[in-house]
């Protein structure tokens, strides 16, 4: 009986502490503003640079579309979701692709400005961003993140 009383008291104190620390007023974190400039971390290797380029590209594209980065990620999951996203936002597929390219170019500029990539690499990345079909670019970025 004593063990039960200790367990109930312990549980009650846990609930009281939880409520005292604001547990009753939980709100999910808000999505970050994609138009806000984010500091680049000091990249430790290729995968970290690739990750930051992808995030910067998403931010740039989401900013131009006035949507969250998270909404954009869902839209880029496949060509069907990108088509739906374009229709919902009153843009053509071509405009959506150009916005993705613009975001990628912004990301390359950010990477070069942060010293994460050199001039030659930045030039090559810009060439790819301007000329490779967007669906292939997205597939490549997904593979790079999986390395």
Distance from C-alpha of 89 to C-alpha of 102, rounded to nearest angstrom: 17
Where are any strands of DSSP class E within 51-115? Answer: none
The 3-class SS string of 22-63 reads CHHHCCCCCCCCCCCCCCCCCCCCHHHHHHHHHHHHHHHHHH
Residue with tokens 């604001």: 22
Give me the tens of pLDDT residue by residue for the chain, a chain 147 residues long. 777 666 666 676 766 666 666 666 666 667 778 888 777 776 667 777 778 888 888 888 888 888 888 888 888 777 778 788 888 888 887 888 888 888 889 888 988 888 888 899 899 989 988 998 877 877 776 676 555
Q: Rounded to a whole number, what is the distance in angstroms from the first to the last CA of the chain? A: 56
């Amino acid at each position: 009986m004593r063990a039960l009383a200790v367990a109930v008291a312990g549980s009650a104190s846990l609930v009281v502490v939880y409520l005292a620390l604001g547990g009753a007023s939980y709100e999910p974190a808000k999505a970050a503003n994609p138009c806000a400039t984010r500091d680049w971390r000091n990249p430790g290797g290729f995968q970290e640079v690739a990750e930051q380029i992808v995030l910067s590209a998403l931010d740039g594209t989401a900013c131009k579309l006035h949507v969250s980065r998270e909404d954009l990620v869902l839209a880029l999951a496949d060509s069907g979701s990108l088509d739906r996203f374009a229709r919902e936002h009153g843009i053509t597929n071509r405009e959506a692709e150009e916005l993705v390219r613009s975001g990628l170019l912004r990301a390359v500029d950010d990477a070069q400005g942060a010293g994460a990539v050199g001039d030659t690499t930045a030039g090559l990345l810009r060439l790819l961003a301007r000329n490779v079909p967007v669906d292939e670019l997205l597939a490549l970025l997904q593979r790079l993140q999986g390395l």
